[in-house]
Amino acid sequence: MSAHQFVAMPRRISAFVLCFSVFFVANCGKKETELVGFHKYEFGKTTKKDGVACSKRGQQTYCSHNDSPSIAGHKTQTDLYFRGHDEDSPLAEILVGIWKCNPGELSAGLYAQMGEPAEKIGQSLRWEFKNMTAIAILKEDKGLCTLHFLDHSEEKRIAKLFPRSNAKPASGAVDSTEK
């Protein structure tokens, strides 16, 4: 298991929570988290040359077979999407598929790692960070859950994954029985 699956900056104090870690910086006695990506993939740093098996998909490049750590004991698959086809094309989206997902366990881990989400729609959660938006789509009965880490410029994709007209402020962990 990797020492830093959720990538945060600056990296001064590290703390393990559940099966994955995140980095915090102390600021006047408060801990603030600034996530910039997932695992070793960082917005503003990772480019197409860091992808493994890549192919063109319209205006983007899709890369599969990337290094993908487990999250809270769940097997994952990480796919990367880049804006453009050049080797220096910037990262647009990190898509993490979580197989045989336990929504309660995953939700608790995400709250512990990323804090209270900005919004919630049913089984979908959205967090906002300086360099990215994170969206979790949790399925019931050990289906496939997905985590999407998106550059803020991916407004259409964010709106498709998380239509804000139905959003409500989040409070507490996701109840896997909620419809």
As given in the structure block, the two tokens for residue 167 are 């959003």
**Residue 136: beta bridge partners?**
125, 147
Q: What does the chain come to in residues?
A: 179
Q: What is the DSSP string of 105-172?
A: HHHHHHHHHH-S-SEEETTEEEEE-SSEEEEEEPPSTT--EEEEEEETT-HHHHHHHS-GGG-B---S
- Looking at residue 79, the DSSP 8-state letter turns out to be E
Q: pTM of this prediction?
A: 0.77
pLDDT number for residue 9: 45
- Report the alpha-carbon distance of residue 170 to residue 90 in Å, rounded: 31
Q: Which helix (H) or strand (E) holds 104?
A: helix 103-114
Peptide bond into 163 cis (omega under 30): no
- pLDDT < 50 positions in the chain: 1-4, 9-31, 172-179
Q: What are the Cα distances from residue 108, in Å, to 16, 19, 25, 175?
A: 14, 11, 22, 10
pLDDT number for residue 71: 83
As given in the structure block, the two tokens for residue 72 are 């809270």
Of the candidates 102, 108, 112, the residue with the CA atom closest to the CA atom of residue 74:
102
pLDDT number for residue 100: 86
- Report the alpha-carbon distance of residue 8 to residue 26 in Å, rounded: 13
Domain range summary for the chain, segments of one domain joined by +: 43-166
In our burial notation (b when 16+ CB lie closer than 10 A, e otherwise), range 84-109 reads eeeeebbbbbbbbbbeebbbebbbbb
